[in-house]
Amino acid sequence: MCGIAGFIDYRKRSTEQILIKCTDSLIHRGPDGSGYDFTETDFCQVGLGHRRLSIIDLSSAGAQPMHYRHLSIVFNGEIYNYEEIKKELLALGHNFSSHSDTEVILHAFDEWGKEMMPRFIGMFAFTIYDRQNQEVWCFRDRPGSKPLYFYWHDGLFLFGSELKCFHPHPGFKKEINTQALLQFFQYGYILAPLSIFKHARKLGPGHYLHINLKTQEVQEKKYWDVFDYYNKPKLNISYQEALTETEKLLVSACQYRMVADVPVGVFLSGGYDSTAVTAILQANRTEKLKTYTIGFFEEDHNEAVYAKKVTNYLGTSHTEHYCTTREAQDILPDIPFFCDEPFGDSSIIPTILVSKLARKEVTVALSADAGDETYAGYNKYPLALSFQNKLNRVPDFLKPTAGRFLKYFPSSILKAIVRNPAVDLKKQRLSNLFHEKSVSAVRLMDIFLSQAYSTEQLEALLTSLPQKPISNFNSSNLLRPDLGEIDSMLAIDYITYLPDDILAKVDRAGMSVSLEGREPLLDHRLIQYAAQLPESFKMTSKNKKIILKDIVHKYVPKEMMERPKMGFGIPVFSWLRSDLKYYADEYLGKESFAHGLFKQEEVDRIISHFYNGDKNFNNPFWYLLMFQMWYKKWMN
């Protein structure tokens, strides 16, 4: 895990010193070393910068930028199967001077070009400069584990692991993208390809960029698409065959992610996903696996007791730490720096805390994200299906009347029906859905279960309402028409919520303490296989994540695992109404809204309702606070 940064400057206004400043803004991602390569050609200046967190081949031979013949690379991530690829290249006549996976990428590109990508099992974002052909290539891994931003404006192309590495360049213009601002307040995160700044974008998961330095042409193309696997015919196999193959893939994915020349640990919540990873790894080794858990004194948020039961049963070397309000308070000011664009998932706080806990002993920690998006684990999936069934049972001629009636329906009763505490803010959305003849589960998941604010409601908040951007939530038309509702929701979540919220959170939290996070359940072989399994192997009306649960039950007793699903959250809203109120007040005073982006009347309404205990306004208040903190850090 590392940090990469660089530029292509066609106006030749850059210097090596600027490259160093851009790169060193990412020192938290790579405290073990740095490297810079500055080149001036007939066409432009090219800068490649790297901050190193040493994981594989700790010697100087693994330093970057790394060069081979006419190729240079800066690389963030890990190629877990690099030894197999290296053997293939050795047979083709290649010779190596290091034991690093970085060198394998360079040789693979020299041998196969972009056709090397299907060979890689790993997480990565890297840039290759081809001096001979005057080209630059940028690649991002399939699910989007590793971030890669780029900026293209006024003859300047910037790239990097985080947006903060653009700020030291004098050519970077930090103008807010109002479409991204709208998206942030709708979802609590910004979806690829947008970023908070104009002219800056996220390279999409499974995409690459090709830049022709002679013509200045920049092309973004896709080399992998999870939809391709959902669009394939379902496998005609028995459940037992699927169970056996899934476990085999899980074991392989977990074992690959233990490859390192430094200590490795595992985040353990006691839920099915992290227990699967922990149990599989502990079952295949004699030494005790190091596991880490964060607990909370508030019972509704505490998973540590469940993790303790699992670790006692499996026999891992376990460390747990109970989070206090003061510790959360200490992390709050750092969120805008490490996220460097507005980010509304409050679980980044416990994720940073557990990363700090693990970093005391290890440099690599395995996490267990993507289990819900791959095997249908979220409560929102059956909820969307249930509500879809209720909506579509209403005769078309009655729907307009039902929609109008809903606006005046008592919130207390509606809240019990749909099991959502923020239902007051969503009545209008539900009312609008009654005017549609047929509502898909994906549309319900988006509009009702994913958005904190609708576009109409944002009209009350934003002084200027831009056109709503097209996002991957709108791409379900690319799935085959006969695909089931469950698989459709899983496919959309895999390209929206997973990369742009969950994986962004895990990357920034780990990198805040220079900890490499690895994700066995993100192994592309797992999702490619799971996408072709019948929906009933993953979820029914009575059970979720069926196949993964049955695998876990082979290692841990079923009665130990069965409990209500808990998110990895913290009692941040109660803290903000009490111990942390003074902190929120610092950013939400009237003088702090001088930027003019929001209507003060709606801001006052959000703040007032939140402090009066109205849970409908939990997320709007938190998003407002996160934006204001970000704005003060990066725009003032």
The terminus-to-terminus CA distance of the chain in angstroms comes to 31
Q: Would you state the structure tokens that stand for residue 410, as one six-digit string? A: 């008592």
**pLDDT score of 614 more than 70:** yes
How many Å apart are CA 168 and CA 162, to the nearest integer? Answer: 12
Q: Are 286 and 81 in contact (CB under 8 A)?
A: no
Q: Which long-range contacts (CB under 8 A, 24 or more apart) does 391-399 make?
A: 391/433, 391/434, 391/439, 391/444, 392/438, 392/439, 394/434, 396/437, 399/434, 399/435, 399/436, 399/437
Please report the pLDDT score of residue 268 as a whole number. Answer: 94
pLDDT category at 415 given cuts 50, 70, 90 is low
pLDDT per residue as tens digits for the range 204-232:
999 999 999 999 999 999 999 999 999 99
CA distances from 301 to 294, 345, 571 (A): 10, 15, 7
How many C-alpha atoms does 80 have within 13 Å on its Cβ side? 18
pLDDT category at 16 given cuts 50, 70, 90 is very high
Q: Are 36 and 75 in contact (CB under 8 A)?
A: no
pLDDT category at 567 given cuts 50, 70, 90 is low
Please report the pLDDT score of residue 417 as a whole number. Answer: 58
Please report the pLDDT score of residue 29 as a whole number. Answer: 95
Q: DSSP readout, 452-520?
A: SS-HHHHTTTBSS-PPPPP-GGG-GGGS-TT--HHHHHHHHHHHTHIIIIIIHHHHHHHHTTT-EEE-G
How many Å apart are CA 439 and CA 388, to the nearest integer? Answer: 7
Share of the chain above pLDDT 90, in %: 76
**pLDDT score of 178 more than 70:** yes
Phi, psi of 246 (to 5 degrees): -65, -45
pLDDT category at 566 given cuts 50, 70, 90 is low
Q: DSSP readout, 3-51?
A: EEEEEEETT----HHHHHHHHHTTTTT-BTEEEEEEEE-SS-EEEEEEE
pLDDT per residue as tens digits for the range 35-68:
999 999 999 999 999 998 877 666 677 789 999 9
Please report the pLDDT score of residue 304 as a whole number. Answer: 86
How many Å apart are CA 344 and CA 426, to the nearest integer? Answer: 19
pLDDT category at 454 given cuts 50, 70, 90 is confident
How many Å apart are CA 187 and CA 202, to the nearest integer? Answer: 17
> Hunting for tokens 């309404």 — which residue is that?
605
> Distance between alpha carbon 550 and the CA centroid of its chain, in Å?
27
Comparing 35-44, 82-91, 340-349, 402-411, the range with the smallest average pLDDT is: 402-411
pLDDT category at 22 given cuts 50, 70, 90 is very high
pLDDT per residue as tens digits for the range 273-315:
999 999 999 997 889 999 999 887 766 667 888 899 999 999 9
pLDDT per residue as tens digits for the range 235-272:
999 999 999 999 999 999 999 998 877 788 999 999 99
Q: Domain 228-376+493-561: which topology?
A: Rossmann fold (3.40.50)
User: Which residues does 327 contact at the CB level (< 8 Å), separation at least 6?
Assistant: 353
Average pLDDT, the chain: 92
Q: Are 358 and 515 in contact (CB under 8 A)?
A: yes
How many Å apart are CA 581 and CA 572, to the nearest integer? Answer: 11
Phi, psi of 363 (to 5 degrees): -110, -20
By three-state DSSP, how is residue 137 classified?
A: strand
pLDDT per residue as tens digits for the range 455-464:
778 999 999 9
Q: Domain 2-224: which topology?
A: Glutamine Phosphoribosylpyrophosphate, subunit 1, domain 1 (3.60.20)
**pLDDT score of 421 more than 60:** no
H helix intervals, 512-599: 524-530, 546-552, 558-561, 572-576, 581-587
- Stated as kind and residue range, the H or E segment containing 304 is helix 304-314
pLDDT per residue as tens digits for the range 513-537:
999 999 999 999 999 999 999 999 9
> Distance between alpha carbon 527 and the CA centroid of its chain, in Å?
16
> Hunting for tokens 């790993």 — which residue is that?
122
Mean pLDDT for 478-489 is 97
Please report the pLDDT score of residue 359 as a whole number. Answer: 93
Q: Would you state the structure tokens that stand for residue 591, as one six-digit string? A: 């003088």
pLDDT per residue as tens digits for the range 118-153:
999 999 999 999 999 999 999 999 999 999 999 999
**pLDDT score of 409 more than 80:** no
Domain boundaries, the chain: 2-224, 228-376+493-561, 380-486, 572-634
Please report the pLDDT score of residue 378 as a whole number. Answer: 95
**pLDDT score of 391 more than 90:** no
